[in-house]
């Protein structure tokens, strides 16, 4: 990947404009910080441009209602498929699924998705976990009140993500970095870390 990429620049502009009125949960941090971190994590771990661009765009379908067809037209089918694989499914009847069903569906997509989907989800989960850890240092256990299901459910979800990522990426450094973050979350949640499967 060249040092400058017009595709990456276009993706960054789309992500920044689409997320411009959003902030990270219970903070005043502009939301764009998250997809930028995800893309940088993928870049630093040596993944290719399609995956790095998918990192920038990974929340556009789910959080900004950007059509998958637009992503495919502007950034190619590979990027669109990666973004779709980590996005929350929209039920046909318009009724929002339960938290448990949403997470179960995401984990099923991750298990079936292949190594690139696993890398994208790993970078997403790693930045989210690191953000929770940083917020915990600021506000302590109150951080868990931001999540509908509390610390145990959140930790269980992250552990399932890690297990699926390990299944596809093995001992890749990105998976190792995620494992470290999940162990730190477990310590903060006062839950014994589960053995990886």
DSSP string for 78-128: HHHHHHHHTSPPPPTT-PPPPHHHHHHHHHHHHHHH-HHHHHHHHHHHHHH
97, 143, 191 from 55: Cα distances, Å: 25, 25, 30
Cβ(118)–Cβ(174) below 8 Å = no
Rounded Cα distance, 25 and 74, in Å: 29
Residue 86 · residue 111 · CB < 8 Å: no
Pick 29 or 176 by higher pLDDT: 176
Residues 47 and 119: beta-carbon distance below 8 Å: yes
Q: Find how far residue 135's CA is from the centre of its chain.
A: 17
pLDDT band at 2 (very low <50, low <70, confident <90, very high): low
- Higher-scoring residue by pLDDT: 110, 142: 110
144 touches 151 (CB < 8 A): yes
Contact 56, 39 (CB under 8 A): yes
What is the CATH class of 1-87?
mainly alpha
Which pLDDT belongs to residue 176?
98
Pick from 89, 87, 79, 81: nearest CA to 39: 79
Domain boundaries, the chain: 1-87, 91-197
Q: What average pLDDT does range 69-87 have in this prediction?
A: 97
| Whether pLDDT at 131 is above 50 | yes
Output the furthest CA–CA distance in the chain (Å, rounded).
46
d(CA 52, CA 48): 6
187 is written with which tokens?
């310590």
CB-side neighbour CA atoms (13 Å) of 184 = 17
Q: Please write the tens of the pLDDT for every residue from 36-58.
A: 999 999 999 999 999 999 999 99
* Residue 83 in tokens: 């973004």
Average pLDDT taken over every residue of the chain: 90
**pLDDT-derived band of residue 118, with 50, 70 and 90 as boundaries?**
very high
DSSP state of 144: G
> How far apart, in whole angstroms, are the C-alpha atoms of residue 78 and residue 85?
11
Structure tokens given for 135: 């917020």
């Amino acid at each position: 990947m060249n040092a400058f990429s017009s595709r990456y620049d276009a993706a960054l502009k789309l992500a920044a404009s689409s997320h411009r009125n959003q902030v990270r949960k219970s903070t005043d941090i502009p939301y764009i910080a998250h997809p930028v971190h995800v893309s940088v994590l993928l870049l630093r771990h040596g993944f290719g441009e399609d995956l790095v661009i998918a990192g920038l765009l990974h929340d556009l379908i789910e959080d900004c209602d950007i059509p998958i067809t637009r992503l495919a037209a502007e950034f190619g089918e590979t990027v669109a498929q990666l973004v779709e694989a980590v996005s929350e499914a929209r039920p046909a009847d318009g009724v929002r699924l339960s938290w448990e069903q949403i997470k179960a569906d995401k984990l099923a997509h991750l298990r079936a998705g292949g190594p690139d989907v696993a890398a994208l989800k790993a970078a997403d989960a790693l930045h989210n976990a690191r953000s929770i850890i940083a917020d915990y240092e600021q506000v302590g256990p109150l951080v868990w009140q931001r999540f509908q299901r509390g610390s145990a459910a959140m930790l269980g979800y992250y552990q399932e993500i890690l297990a699926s990522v390990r299944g596809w990426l093995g001992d890749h450094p990105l998976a190792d970095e995620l494992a470290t973050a999940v162990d730190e979350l477990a310590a903060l949640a006062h839950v014994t870390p589960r053995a990886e499967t």
